[in-house]
Structure 1
Amino acid sequence: MAVEVVYRSSRDLEHLFMDKAEADRHDKMLELAELLAEVLQKSVPSLSEQQAEEAGFYMAKNRDVFAKAFKSQPDALSELLNSVDE
């Protein structure tokens, strides 16, 4: 019988990871998504809680693209636009 080590994110108990670093990255992404949702909901009161959560998750999941866009490379967002069109 083999023993297999798996890791679980503390914020998402349903997903299992074979690598601790991957579980940590997922946990940090979810933490960022939660904070982004909170900021969006306070900044745009007309957003529902669900809309803010979805937007926060999307932004956190694509943080590298948004980081490029915020660092004077707004064309980086076209990568996301192209993936939505497909």
Structure 2
Amino acid sequence: MAVEVLYRSSRDPERLFMDKAEADRYDKMLELAESLAEVLHRAVPDISEKQAEDIGIYMARHREVFAKAFKNQPDALNELSDKG
């Protein structure tokens, strides 16, 4: 009988990972997404919580691209249209 070690996301308990580092990266991404959603909701009060959450997750998942764009490389955002 084989034994497998699984790691559970602390922010998304339904999500399991085979690698602790991957689980940690996912939790950090969700933490960033939550912070972004809060900022978006404060900046645009008419936005729904769901929309702010979805935008926060999108931005957190693609944070490297957004970081490039914010560092005077706005063309970096073209990479996102390739990803869908």
Unaligned runs of 5+ in 2: none
In the alignment of these two chains, the number of paired residues is 84
How far apart are 1:83 and its partner, in Å? 3.0
How far apart are the structure 2 equivalents of 1:83 and 1:9?
25
Moved beyond 6 Å, runs of 4+: none
Q: Share of identical aligned residues, percent? A: 73
Map Cα deviations across residues 3-41 of structure 1 (whole Å, 9 max, x no partner): 100101100111110100000000000000000000000
Alignment-derived partner of residue 76 in structure 2: 76
How far apart are 1:82 and its partner, in Å? 3.3
Q: What RMSD, in angstroms, separates the aligned Cα atoms of the two structures?
A: 0.8
How far apart are the structure 2 equivalents of 1:83 and 1:15?
23
Output the amino acid matched with 2:71. K
TM-score normalized by the length of structure 1: 0.93
How far apart are the structure 1 equivalents of 2:12 and 2:52?
18
How far apart are the structure 2 equivalents of 1:19 and 1:81?
30
Output the amino acid matched with 1:17. F
